[in-house]
Amino acid sequence: MIFGPDLTALREAAKNLARSHFVDRAEADGTPATLRAMYVMKAAEAASVQAGGSSALIEGEAALRGVTPAELATTILDMAKQSADLELARMKVNVDIEAAASAADVINILNKLGLDLKMFA
């Protein structure tokens, strides 16, 4: 006899817990959401600079920092890659949870992240 939620409910709870885990990691630096939105724009501007274009924003900040626009663009894109890597890790966990064949598999996926699903706490 099996006690507890069905596998579909367990998967959803696990994905919610994993999402919270990755959001906490992404927001650990305390940057407000509005500033994060600016970073998305800066990444697009930085990509334009790396592709040979120009950006008043990147050029202005580079001048303030005493670096070249290309150097600043590289730094910005490296930071954006860290965020992209974190998002890919989150998506992999979601896909793995969806593919889990049993509750034990779901729990093992969470345990690899250092997470413990407490459905009945």
Question: pTM (2 decimals)?
Answer: 0.73
* DSSP label of 116: -
CB atoms within 10 A of CB 42: 20
Give residue limits of the domains in the chain: 30-112
Per-residue model confidence (pLDDT) at position 30: 85
Kindly give, in sequence order, each residue whose CB lies less than 8 Å from that of residue 107, ignoring residues fewer than 6 positions away.
Answer: 14, 117
The pLDDT tens digits along the chain (121 residues) read 456 678 999 999 999 999 999 999 988 888 887 888 888 999 999 999 999 999 999 999 999 999 999 999 999 999 899 888 999 999 999 999 999 999 999 999 999 999 998 764 4
- Which three-class secondary structure state does DSSP give residue 28? coil
Per-residue model confidence (pLDDT) at position 36: 84
Q: What are the two backbone dihedrals, phi and then psi, of residue 53, each rounded to the nearest 5 degrees? A: -85, -165
